[in-house]
Structure 1
Amino acid sequence: MTARRTLVRTLVAAVALAAALPLTGCSAVLDLLPRPAAQPERDETTQEIVEESQADVFALRVGDCMNTVDEEVVSEVPVVPCGEPHDDEVYFDFTLDEGDYPGDDVVLEASDTGCLAEFEAFVGLAYDTSSLDFYAYRPTEESWAAGDRVVSCVIWDPAGQVTGSLAGAAY
């Protein structure tokens, strides 16, 4: 009797699910499917961003300009053409070594060291004498587990928004 009751309950649950799914609309099914990362619209020749939009942080390239995001863990960023006022610019990318996640402190140290090493070449002035600053989008333990090893070095002006690239700014 118990096996029959379990079978009947399973069938009733399956029928109820089959009846309810169409009532929820496509959103229930779409929420289960992976979504493509938001890609910024780029000029076909120069590959520069041509309009303001949200972009997946993994879609960022050297030379991309954006506005600041205040969250600690970022998945999307507001990108803009560099000719418009903006807060930040990606100035260098590099890849950390493969292996197990080395820990937040090690990733932070490697990111700071790698970004600092390229700062002067980009700005045209040593970091210690420049009024500009930098930070890095770096892998988290979770993104590392998914294969993320890229560090994106981002430059910004503490005085406020800029228009155009900071490449060769020398201040």
Structure 2
Amino acid sequence: MTLALPNPLLRSRRRWAAVAAVALIGVFPRAEPPQPIAVKGDDFITAETTGILDIEGGECFSDPAYLDRANDVVVLYKPCEERADNESYGFVQAADGEWHRPAVAAYGWQECGRDFVRRWGGQSESGMDFYPVLPTAETWADGDRSIMCVVYNPDGKITRNMVPLVH
């Protein structure tokens, strides 16, 4: 009985095939799964989120994120052309009265939604979406009745000023 020894040339070919496969992976990296876009509802940002009160109508800003130097979760002004997350497109004023979050939220969705449809024709036409930034019980007690209306791109970033002029 003869014992067959492995062919050194065959081993060498397998080794080079493995090296080539690893090299190709480095040249053609696997696509990373897309990062989920945050669900932006009426509790995503509030009047108490640090930095939001510095944002004016037509200005773009970041999603809330922890900032070491502030030791807090903040939103930051960002030029729209620099891939911003959100853009303020207006403000509505809630009526005076007792603080009732569900009623204030419903009013914010209704009024911001009305302005959103007037400006963009709705989500299906524009590809954009919106959310209201509400006062909190604490800011309401201080007289805050402003609701900021915010537009964003559910598929990514804003790369230019999105607010159309409305006559």
Q: What interval of TM-score do these two structures reach, taking the shorter chain for normalisation? A: 0.5 to 0.7
The answer as to whether partners of 1:116 and 1:127 remain within 8 angstroms in 2 is: no
Which residue of structure 1 aligns with residue 146 of structure 2? 150
Q: Distance in 1 between matches of 2:114 and 2:57?
A: 15
Q: Distance in 2 between matches of 1:95 and 1:149?
A: 5
**Unpaired runs of at least 5, structure 1:** 1-53
| Shift in CA distance, 106/64, structure 1 to aligned 2, threshold 3 Å | same
Task: Tell whether 2:63 aligns with 1:68.
Answer: yes
Which one-letter code corresponds to 1:60 in the other structure? I
The answer as to whether partners of 1:57 and 1:75 remain within 8 angstroms in 2 is: no
Which residue of structure 2 aligns with residue 160 of structure 1? 156
Superposed displacement of residue 55, structure 1: 6.6
TM-score (norm 1): 0.58
Q: Distance in 1 between matches of 2:110 and 2:73?
A: 23
The answer as to whether partners of 1:92 and 1:152 remain within 8 angstroms in 2 is: yes
The answer as to whether partners of 2:55 and 2:61 remain within 8 angstroms in 1 is: no
Equivalent in 50, 56, 60 of residue 51 of structure 2: 56
| Shift in CA distance, 129/70, structure 1 to aligned 2, threshold 3 Å | farther
Alignment of 1:65-144 (within 5 A): 65-69=60-64, 76-101=74-99, 103-123=100-120, 125-144=121-140
Which one-letter code corresponds to 2:104 in the other structure? V
Count of residues paired in the alignment = 112
Superposed displacement of residue 75, structure 1: 8.0
User: Deviations for 1:49-86, whole angstroms, at most 9, x for unmatched residues?
Assistant: xxxxx973222211010111169xx9842111122111
Which residue of structure 2 aligns with residue 32 of structure 1? none
